Amino acid sequence: MSSISEYMIAKHRKCDDFFTEAESAVAEGHWPLALLKWQDFARELTEHLAQEEEVLFPQFEQAMDMAGPTQVMRMEHQQMRALVQSLDNALAAKEKDEYLGLSETLMVMMQQHNMKEEMMLYPMMAQHLGDGEQIIEGFKASAVA
């Protein structure tokens, strides 16, 4: 069984893959494929953020008796959601340059955010929540297909 860290890092990579595929399709002007991959990305990201905000963060905050690190992550999640909405709009309007500019911003933001989670937050969670096997099983059971 994988740890919380391994599971969540794999989710980061899955989001990254869909994101890159959508961006490539937009760059090539292949709008139907771009929309499909973007929807895959948005669904995966939404699920991932919910897993963190509704399950992992509250359990971690309770174990630590503080919310400092997770508050920063929540704020960054909100910033990402706003960019995703702007990207949705650019994709719907087939505005290639707008989409590619926004996607660059979101990619940098996600890379920085993921690094903080992967290098600091997830190891802290492992220390205070254990390997999280039950948590992971719950995520898998409720995962969007």
pLDDT (tens digit per residue) in 54-111: 999 999 999 888 778 899 999 999 999 999 999 999 999 999 999 999 999 999 999 9
Q: Write the pLDDT tens digit of every residue in 123-144.
A: 988 888 876 788 888 887 776 5
Q: Which residue has the higher pLDDT, 90 or 5?
A: 90
pLDDT at 1: 40
Average pLDDT for residues 14-38, to the nearest whole number? Answer: 98
Q: Which fold has domain 4-142?
A: Four Helix Bundle (Hemerythrin (Met), subunit A) (1.20.120)
Average pLDDT for residues 3-20, to the nearest whole number? Answer: 94
CA-based angle 70:88:75, to the nearest 5? 15
**Cα–Cα distance for residue pair 81/75, rounded to 1 Å:** 10
CA dist 65 to 9, 12, 60, 136, Å? 25, 27, 8, 22
Sketch the domain layout of the chain as residue ranges.
Answer: 4-142
What pTM was estimated for this model as a whole? 0.90
